[in-house]
Structure 1
Amino acid sequence: MAFTPTQNFLGRGWSFPPTFDHFNGEVGMLEGIADIQSSLHILLTTMVGERLMQPRFGCNLEEMVFASLDTTLKTQLTDKIETAILYFEPRIDLERVFLNTDRQLEGLLLIEVDYRVRTTNSRFNFVFPFYKTEGTELLHFLTNPPQTDNAL
């Protein structure tokens, strides 16, 4: 399969986490915009220093989970995201990072990233849910345990 110059620049890579097609034994691949969206998700969920070959890759958003959501935190989050995208996602030009705080009382901050793909000049957005209450849904789990099928 021959790729056009635009497809070559946008790239093609393994899906993450890796998936496999059990019928033909191939690895799941992403290309084009799906590859960029996956790359942004990986960038925002990776801690700096987590990758041995690229120790500066990542955002360290997890270190801000317990901080109060004030103007300082919003500015720090926006700066970390903008810097990470600038250095580690060369296929796009970042247009805007917006922190949607409409659901902050639920412990959810929506990080909206508006960007333009350099080769096609097409605009897209990526919404990343940042949960500030991660791991605190234990009460829901204890009161509503998952159903199991014991008919083995």
Structure 2
Amino acid sequence: MSFTDYPQVGSGWAFPPRWRMPDAERGGGAMPAYVVTNAGLDHVREAMIILLRTLRGSRVMRPGLGAGVDRYVFEPRTPEVCYRLADDVRRALVLGEPRVIVDSVTAEPAGDADDRVDVTIEYRVDRHRRAESLVVPFYVGGAA
């Protein structure tokens, strides 16, 4: 999706930050390098992933920002842990990302991987748009 499809979400630096050199074939030999940006739905997805990977308390001016999923690293992969992880992710998105409407968040053990839980987020950027889906893997202690 492009910026024209979702103008309300804005644009910003891509994550991780990186620089792009201008193409010499296009006459950009004397132009300086520039920061890679993204916009629209890509911008929102990257912001959601950054929010979920942020440790609670790590931002000095916004100590409540983040999902706090780091505390599950040494937890066993049980249904209760999956439920708490999904609840923390949902809470972080509702409080920290006002551009999305969270429809559902589910966390399920990832098949054969003993230490991975896949968190599926169903969300919409606008209440009139179709729902989007994002799957973010989190790694936990292992099988119970």
- Unpaired segments of 5 or more residues in structure 1? 134-152
TM-score by length of 2: 0.81
From 49, 53, 60, the equivalent of 1:41 is: 49
Shift of 1:120: 5.0
Note if contact 1:109-1:130 (Cα within 8 Å) is conserved in structure 2. Answer: yes
Shift of 1:98: 1.3
Which is helix-richer, 1 or 2?
Answer: 1
1:91 alignment partner in structure 2:
99
Shift of 1:82: 0.9
Note if contact 1:6-1:119 (Cα within 8 Å) is conserved in structure 2. Answer: no
More relative contact order in 1 or in 2 (CA 8 Å, sep 6+)? Answer: 2
Tell me the percent identity. 27
Shift of 1:71: 2.9
- d(CA) in 2 for partners of 1:120, 1:29: 26
Shift of 1:99: 1.2
The size of the alignment, in residue pairs, is 131
The ranges of structure 1 where at least 4 consecutive aligned residues each deviate by more than 4 angstroms after the TM superposition are: none
2:35 alignment partner in structure 1:
27
TM-score by length of 1: 0.77
CA RMSD of superposed structures (Å): 2.2
- d(CA) in 2 for partners of 1:59, 1:36: 16
Shift of 1:65: 1.0
Secondary structure of the corresponding residue to residue 34 of structure 2: coil
Shift of 1:119: 6.0
Paired residue type of 1:44? L
1:74 alignment partner in structure 2:
82
2:13 alignment partner in structure 1:
14
- Unpaired segments of 5 or more residues in structure 2? 23-31
